[in-house]
Structure 1
Amino acid sequence: MQIAHAAPEDARAVAEIHVDAWRSAYSRILPADYLASLSVEKREEMWKNIIEAGQTELLVAKDGGTILGWVSFGACRDKDAPPSQAELWAIYVAPNNWFKGVGRQLWLRARELLSQQGYSTCSLWVFAENEPAIRFYKANGFEADTLPPEEFELDGRQLQELRYVCRINT
């Protein structure tokens, strides 16, 4: 498996993984109609624009020519974040590659780059109900922050997101 920065031609595979992972991981969290409405084409356009604009660092894990997963990260977008805090914006692995170490390898490479860029901590937001993801983050050094959960509505469903934080250099 190789991990490299995404190129515009990777946008389709990134979008397919994004939609497939949402449909699999969030099937018990988000309404089925909402998940069914997700569009690979719209996500492809979004990711192509993001890659071309360099809005985030986007790494892809490839096996041969097949993209297995991806991670998006950069400066923390939270209002209370110091300049030394990065954010793991998103990390998704194709569902047929879950539990094979792809996500861990993506995180380790992102963490290495964040360290090189001078960040000392990294935060992320995760649905409070997403227990498998929370287990993954905890296993990779993230701890629940003391910040109260963010509450919002998505497609008529009340949701909570929790912030987790880890030290970059341990």
Structure 2
Amino acid sequence: MPIRLATPADAHTIARIHVLSWQGAYRGIVPDAHLDAMQISHREAIWRERLHTAETETWLADHNGEALGWINTGASRDNDATPDCGEVLALYVLPEHWSTGAGRALWLHARSRMVSAGWRQISLWVLCDNLRAIRFYETAGFQPEPGSETELTLGGKTLIERRYRHTLVYTTDDLPPQTEPQP
């Protein structure tokens, strides 16, 4: 599946995927009124600005000229992050393309880019009620970080999100000590 770097010209496409994915993924988790009020035009303005600043990387998965999803990565925003920690800021695929490999292709491409950029750790935040996303990230090698839970309010509803981490590059410091075989 072709993966390409997004440009400001892709802001509408990214915003459309963003809104439709939220409405599909978070229905039953986030209040319907909040999801129904989301506007592509509002998200488009936000994405146009983000893509101009280039502080993060956004990659699109295309199939037959149609964008199916995107991933946005950059330096971790967490206060306790080390300089070698990146973050998956967002990963969304159109609901009709879930379980087609688009999300996995995006993740593997972004992972390769992050390893090349020198990130050793990657983190992300997931709503605790978003079981589909949790399965996806755990399958990709992310582990929940106990005690990282935080509350946020969307549409008047309090939700809990948890941080997940994944080690991208192993060094000799990460490996257990080797013992000599006994004769």
What's the TM-score, normalizing by structure 2? 0.90
1:122 partner SS: strand
Query: Match for residue 46 of structure 2?
Result: 46
Question: Which residue of the partner structure matches residue 162 of structure 2?
Answer: 162
Q: Distance in 2 between matches of 1:45 and 1:7?
A: 13
Q: Secondary structure, in 3 states, of the residue corresponding to 2:45?
A: helix
Q: Which runs of 4+ in 1 moved over 3 A?
A: none
Within a 5 Å distance, the mapping from 1:27-106 to structure 2 comes to: 27-106=27-106
DSSP 3-state at the match of 1:78? coil
In 1, Cα distance between equivalents of 2:147 and 2:59: 28
1:130-169 counterparts in 2 under 5 A? 130-169=130-169
Cα distance in 2 for residues equivalent to 1:65 and 1:49: 24
User: Which one-letter code corresponds to 1:132 in the other structure?
Assistant: R
Partner Cα separation in structure 2 for residue 87 and residue 3 of structure 1: 19
**Partner AA of 2:55 in structure 1:** Q
* Structure 1 unaligned regions, length at least 5: none
Structure 2 letter corresponding to 1:89: L
The residue type paired with residue 83 of structure 1 is P
Q: Normalised by the size of structure 1, how large is the TM-score?
A: 0.97
Please name the residue that 1:118 is paired with.
118
**Matched residues, number:** 170
Structure 2 unaligned spans of 5+: 171-183
CA distances 1:4-59 after superposition (whole Å, capped 9, x unpaired):
11011211111111000000100011111100000100111111111111131000
Q: Which of these two proteins has the greater Rg computed from alpha carbons?
A: 2
- Percent identity, aligned pairs only, is 39
Q: For residue 132 of structure 1, give the secondary structure of its aligned residue in structure 2.
A: helix
How far off its partner does 1:146 sit?
A: 2.4
RMSD across aligned positions (CA): 1.0
> CA separation in 2, counterparts of 1:148 and 1:125?
9
Name the amino acid aligned to 1:115: V
